[in-house]
Amino acid sequence: MVSQETFFQTLQNSILFQDMCQSEIETVLGKLQSYRKIFPKHAMVIQDGECLPQVGLILEGNLHLFHVDAKGNKNLMDCLGAGETLGLLNAIGGYRLHVSAEATENTELFFFSVDDLLRGNKVTLPPQIHFLQNLALATAQQAYRLTKKLEDSIRHSTRERLQDYLSEEFHKTGKRIFTIPLNRQDLADFLFVDRSAMSNELCKMREEGLIKFEKSRFELLIEMPITDAEQDPNSVMNKRKK
């Protein structure tokens, strides 16, 4: 398990507990039913169709969220790392999950219920109010990410999806050379494209002098069109830069 210092640091780096000191976080946690659990690599954290009554916040490791359709096709919906949450909309609304979550490495999660604060009429302290404000922002952020992914999957060609994804990785690292956290099949699943078609498009982009790549390591060359960064107004990192 991560240390208590890392535990609180990770919480403070998440949108749910942003701008809250440790004592304020402890006040909120005192009203939440919570527990921590470690999942080994390749373990299924939750299955499609199950209920998830608690929010799961990743303390360490990574999760892949995916959906398998009626034909057995696996669509990678999202990749989550430390400080990000699992099942936020489901825990708040009581909906069943429509994705499965798999640990891609040893992963520790912090599960907690928000029911008492949302429905128990027990919100009296400023830290609790602050947490609920953050919860509303986190819910809006999650809904926005889902809407944007749906829009991208409907409107964009394979090349445009690759360009947008690689541009986003560029903006995350600030460098033209970076390693993505996905293998070829995972990348195709995440972009909702055929792997062979995607590989062909990557080769065309390399031949045109737009990119270089070797396995998961990419270099964006000068001629590569980079999509403008879309700043998230609720991102913890963006707020700290201001």
CB-side exposure of 200: number of CA atoms within 13 Å? Answer: 6
Q: What is the pLDDT of residues 213-222, one digit of tens each?
A: 999 999 999 9
Count the neighbouring beta carbons within 10 Å of the beta carbon of residue 179: 12
- Residue 176 burial (CB count, 10 A): 16
34-44 residue pLDDT tens: 999 999 999 99
Tell me which residues of the chain have a pLDDT lower than 50. none
Are the C-beta atoms of 189 and 75 separated by less than 8 Å? yes
> How high is the mean pLDDT of the chain?
90
Whether 114 contacts 135, CB under 8 Å: yes
d(CA 53, CA 112): 8
Report the predicted TM-score, pTM, of the whole model to 2 decimal places: 0.83
